[in-house]
């Protein structure tokens, strides 16, 4: 009985193994069939796509763009093209004291007159026009204050930099810093703005250069907010004209650049505030060019840059103009360069050759 039982068990095991092998065989066959089917499907897809025409980017219609329902386009207006010097541009030569100068018709975006307008030079404190513009675009609360530091105020004193006159420990609001930056050309105000908005002058210089790139400037690179001399801090008369044009499109900047005098808010250090006066308007003493009214501007000076000035005028011909001069030998000559050029070019009758200073 035991031998018969053993043979029976062995036969059962063989049958079991045979059934397992059959299942594995059928499973392998199924896998192979599925793989073949997958290959055939991929091949058909590739064949169909190869027979369809390519769809180029130009074929994409506005309906293909993924725009949320009810949303509006975020595209900004096209920026003003960079003005060029043409055969019609009057060459000023020795008619102006400055080594480099440009008269830009802002209304027509046309270079009316020039003298080395695209030559790289040091801007000195006309740098502060771009500082003003960048600051105005980034200040979110004009009531915020910045506490003046003895460290950087003393450093400016040692450099003989022009300052607005804020004191160590004085907390100055953003509005007063903007006026302090432009009217008296205060480096104390520009550094305070740079530190408050960017954390350091180096970081703020990055913001200035980013704005310069946004404006399409061609030969401008700044390393500080004030225009204190540095070999890597430079621009051109034409680039600076574009900076002033952009600043005058900003309501806050236009108001600051057009102000003759301004008194800051009272503080413990200055209970009656500080009276700030525009360095440009104060040099004109009421003089105005014939045929135009100078409404805004900024002056500058360092030993290396000479005298610089960027001004904005409204001509009797209905056009707005910007005159920028760089590396002048005297602040009064820089002032009268502007007055004489506006007189010669901005009247209702256009260019008056006899009025151009010789």
Give CA–CA dist 146/213, Å, rounded.
Answer: 28
Provide the pairing of β-strand 261-263 with 145-147. Answer: unpaired
SS3 152: helix
Contact call for residues 293 and 184 (beta carbons, < 8 A): no
**Taking Cα atoms as reference points, which of 193, 179, 90 lies closest to residue 145?**
193
How deeply is 25 buried, as exposed, middle or buried, from its count of CB atoms within 10 A (0-12, 13-18, 19+)?
Answer: exposed
What's the token pair of residue 5? 């039982």
For residues 208 and 227, the answer to whether their CB atoms sit within 8 Å is no
CATH for 90-355, options being 3.90.1820.10, 3.30.1360.120, 3.40.710.10, 3.40.190.100: 3.40.710.10
**Burial status of residue 252 (CB atoms within 10 A of its CB: 0-12, 13-18, 19 or more):** middle
pLDDT in tens, the chain (358 residues): 445 555 666 656 666 666 666 666 666 667 677 767 776 766 665 655 555 444 333 332 333 333 333 333 334 456 779 999 999 999 999 989 999 999 999 999 999 999 999 999 999 999 999 999 999 999 999 999 999 999 889 999 888 889 999 999 999 999 999 999 999 999 999 999 999 999 999 999 999 999 999 999 999 999 999 999 999 999 999 999 999 999 999 999 999 999 999 999 999 999 999 999 999 999 987 677 888 999 999 999 999 999 999 999 999 999 999 999 999 999 999 999 999 999 999 877 655 544 454 4
Q: What is the rounded CA–CA span in Å between residue 92 and residue 341? A: 9
Check if the beta carbon of residue 324 is closer than 8 Å to that of residue 241: yes
Cα–Cα dist 104/84, whole Å:
10
Which residue bears the tokens 């499907």? 41
Distance, CA of 318 to chain centre: 28
Q: Number of C-alpha atoms within 13 angstroms, CB side, residue 55?
A: 6
Phi, psi (rounded to 5 degrees) for 327: 60, 55
**CA-to-CA distance for 270 and 89, rounded, in angstroms?**
50
């Amino acid at each position: 009985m035991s031998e018969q039982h053993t043979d029976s068990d062995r036969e059962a095991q063989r049958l079991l193994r045979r059934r397992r092998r059959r299942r594995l065989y059928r499973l392998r066959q199924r896998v192979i069939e599925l793989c073949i089917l997958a290959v055939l499907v991929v091949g058909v897809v590739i064949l169909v796509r190869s027979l369809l025409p390519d769809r180029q980017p130009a074929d994409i219609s506005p309906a293909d763009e993924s725009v949320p329902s009810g949303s509006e386009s975020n595209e900004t207006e096209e920026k003003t093209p960079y003005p060029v010097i043409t055969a019609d541009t009057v060459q000023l030569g020795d008619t102006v004291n400055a080594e480099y100068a440009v008269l830009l018709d802002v209304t027509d975006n046309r270079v009316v007159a020039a003298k080395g307008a695209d030559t790289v030079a040091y801007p000195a404190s006309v740098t502060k026009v771009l500082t003003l513009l960048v600051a105005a675009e980034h200040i979110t609360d004009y009531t915020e204050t910045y506490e003046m530091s003895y460290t950087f105020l003393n450093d400016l004193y040692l450099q003989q930099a022009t300052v607005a006159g804020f004191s160590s420990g004085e907390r100055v609001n953003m509005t007063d810093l903007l006026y302090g930056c432009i009217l008296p050309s205060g480096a104390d105000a520009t550094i305070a703005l740079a530190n408050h908005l960017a954390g350091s002058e180096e970081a703020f210089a990055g913001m200035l250069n980013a704005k310069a790139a946004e404006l399409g400037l061609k030969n401008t690179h700044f390393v500080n907010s004030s225009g204190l001399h540095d070999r890597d801090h430079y621009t051109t008369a034409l680039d600076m004209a574009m900076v002033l044009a952009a600043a005058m499109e900003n309501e806050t900047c236009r108001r600051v650049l057009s102000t003759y005098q301004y008194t800051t808010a009272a503080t413990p250090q200055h209970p009656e505030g500080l009276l700030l006066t525009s360095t440009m308007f104060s040099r004109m003493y009421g003089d105005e060019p014939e045929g135009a009214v100078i409404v805004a501007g900024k002056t500058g000076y360092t030993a290396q840059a000479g005298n610089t000035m960027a001004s904005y005028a409204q001509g009797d011909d209905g056009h707005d103009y910007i005159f920028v001069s760089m590396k002048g030998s005297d602040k009064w000559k820089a002032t009268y360069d502007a007055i004489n050029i506006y007189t010669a070019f901005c009247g209702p009758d256009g260019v008056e050759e006899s009025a151009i200073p010789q």
